[in-house]
Structure 1
Amino acid sequence: MAQWLIFALLAAVSASFVTIFTKIGIHHLTPGLATSVRAVIMAIFLVAVSFSRGDFHQLKELVMYKRDVAFLIGAGICGALSWLFLNIALKTGKTWQVAPIDKLSVVITVVVSLLIFQEEITMKGIIGVVLIAIGTVFVALA
């Protein structure tokens, strides 16, 4: 099995538990506070991982690659908004309906990446993305 596929599957399993644990964890908390707590825990964990891997030797390169940093800032803001909106939706919605709609990000990512990166997609890929979109609508409206 390809290494990227193993890590992608691990990401999917991890993301699933993020949604499940968040639904349980926001029971008595506001979505904003829950998002903040999760972000702080995530930051501490990731700094520890980067430190243990020796990644901080690249800090000086942040100054050299300002465009990369600007896009990472944008990604951080979009990620925080995604978590916040997900938590708001989970607070009042059913997890089994909220999660598939959140995963519409897959469809949006494919469409935007085709436009921006000029990536090629096969007919099987197109059919798969369309089925994801249709499946999301069926689950959300069930």
Structure 2
Amino acid sequence: MGSVSPWLGWALLSAVFAAMTAIFAKAGLSAGIESDMATLLRTGVILVVLALFVAATGKWSDPTLIAPQAWSFITLSALATGASWVCYFRALKLGEASKVAPIDKLSVVLVALFAVLFLGERPSLRDWSGIALIASGVLLLALKR
């Protein structure tokens, strides 16, 4: 087994926080808040916390100096994130977190496909095998009765 990649720890923390997101969101939605309002409040909290984090770590930079291409892709990413959150919160409002969250992870399969199509990435056979297993798991969960 090779050395551990530096991104792995961050990716694992992302998975832990994503899991906590589903549990906390479902608990909040179960308390009676409407899903779109919950998404708005969540976004406001994230904005404040990230602004404080960026300022505290000294990573603030002048947004007017950011290249237009970067602005375009970051804006598209923000729009996709917002749409994802709205859909995710609505699904959580209507369904069980243990069913919604795994199906949401079909995004892993879609990222692989989009990375090949749009970024020119070339996953190995081993990578595709793992991606196929994730897709299979999502299908098993989605078709569960």
What residue identity is the alignment partner of 1:11? S
- Structure 1 length as normaliser, TM-score? 0.94
TM-superposed deviation, 1:40: 0.3
Q: Match for 1:69 among 63, 68, 71?
A: 71
1:50 to 41, 47, 54: 54
Identify unmatched segments of 5+ residues in structure 2.
Answer: none
Distance 2:62 2:22 in 1: 32
Equivalence for 1:94: 96
CA distance in 1, matches of 2:108, 2:135: 9
Question: Aligned-pair RMSD on alpha carbons?
Answer: 1.0
Q: Quote how far apart the aligned CAs of 1:41 are.
A: 0.3
- What is the deviation of 1:58? 4.0
Indicate the residue corresponding to 1:34 in structure 2.
38
Match of 2:18 among 15, 19, 24: 15
Structure 1 portions without partners, runs of 5+: none
How far apart in 1 are the matches of 2:115 and 2:35? Answer: 30
Counterparts of residues 130-141 of structure 1 (less than 5 Å): 130-141=132-143
Q: Percent identity over the alignment? A: 31
Give the Cα separation in 2 of the matches to 1:2 and 1:124: 17
> Does 1:4 pair with 2:15?
no
